[in-house]
Chain A
Amino acid sequence: GAGVSQSPSNKVTEKGKDVELRCDPISGHTALYWYRQRLGQGLEFLIYFQGNSAPDKSGLPSDRFSAERTGESVSTLTIQRTQQEDSAVYLCASSSDGPTDTQYFGPGTRLTVL
């Protein structure tokens, strides 16, 4: 079956521009996560969606970052007024039920802010 997909795979933008990153989770997975991986660093949690519950936004680094999810399907991570420190690989993961289930990761979107 299809895994988690993300688009675009690469994004180069200029400082100050807004970007949107998309994640398509595995069909039927109720939980969806966004992480960020900066060069030489581990993965940082950004935001977590579980079903119809309010998302856990505790990992978002600033109010320039926001994310939405349509039902139990596609999610979009938006970064407004991008800064050079936003350059990273943004990873999306989904799991079938909840946080103790295995999270399946997408290939990531590499964002470069010039």
Chain B
Amino acid sequence: GDSVTQMEGPVTLSEEAFLTINCTYTATGYPSLFWYVQYPGEGLQLLLKATKADDKGSNKGFEATYRKETTSFHLEKGSVQVSDSAVYFCALSRGGSQGNLIFGKGTKLSVKP
């Protein structure tokens, strides 16, 4: 079945460091790919998405590129801030009648000042 694998955390970085959180997927067809973020004490919210190969999603300085050849959707940010501390979830949706999201297990990021 379809699945999402993301790097295990926790990840601890210093402020202004470069961030990469790896995400790979297994799916039939051409899924849409998402990164969701859950800040401490808050609900899950969409960070960015890409719906077809080679698309780049971006938001709040974060980027991820849909790579069909490597079935990957790695999340990157050039300079993290303390306020980026959160749990990040990679997810896919096959669309159509199978519209539910399939999530990775989440990666906890802590950014130290």
Q: Are B43 and A105 in contact (CB under 8 A)?
A: yes
Q: Which size class do B's interface residues fall under?
A: 20 to 34
User: Is A100 among interface residues, defined by CB-CB distance under 8 A?
Assistant: yes
CB-defined contacts of A103 to chain B, threshold 8 Å: 46, 101
The residue in B42, B89, B93, B96 that gathers the most chain A C-beta atoms within 10 A of its C-beta is: B93
CB A57 to nearest CB in B, in angstroms, measures: 11
A99 lies within 8 A of B102 (CB): no
Which residues of chain A (1-60) have a CB below 8 Å from chain B?
3, 31, 33, 35, 40-45, 48, 50, 56, 59
Point out residues on B near A: beta carbons under 8 Å: 4, 32, 36, 42-46, 49, 51, 89, 91, 93-106
29 contacts between A and B (CB under 8 A): A3-B43, A33-B99, A33-B101, A35-B101, A41-B105, A42-B4, A42-B105, A43-B44, A43-B89, A43-B103, A45-B100, A45-B102, A50-B97, A56-B100, A93-B44, A98-B99, A99-B97, A100-B93, A100-B99, A102-B46, A102-B49, A103-B46, A104-B45, A104-B46, A105-B43, A105-B45, A107-B42, A107-B43, A108-B43
